[in-house]
Amino acid sequence: MTNLTLLLALAAACLGRSISPQNDTWNTSFTSSQSQIAQAGFNSTTANNVDIAIQYEQTNWATDSVHSDPFYTLPVNASQGPAGSLLKVEQYTDTSLYTLPPKTALSRILFQSKTING
């Protein structure tokens, strides 16, 4: 069975059923608001499943959202550079925030790219 077939079979098996997380000690308190649920057209089962997926994702973040990480704060004109422009380099990243194999170094870079629409 290919990965795609397995994924589709799993999705079909879960369709319409509420999922239960294996972990219930999340590092986040995210819950969809009623207006978000209404805008997305979710029923209560789908809203529950989306909340669990987001809670799982946020729990695995090394730090808070990229919106609060100073590394991702860019100059106002950063998007004006040509594709491939180097915007920021963090040569030595604190590896205690990540799950990495022993003796692994980590650096972060940001660069300008183009969207599919240019």
Is there a contact between 34 and 51 (Cβ–Cβ < 8 Å)?
no
At 75, the pLDDT band (50, 70, 90 cuts) reads confident
Compute the average pLDDT of residues 7-11: 52
- At 101 the three-state DSSP class reads coil
Compute the average pLDDT of residues 9-32: 64
Farthest CA pair distance, the chain: 49
Domain spans of the chain, in order of start: 3-59, 70-111
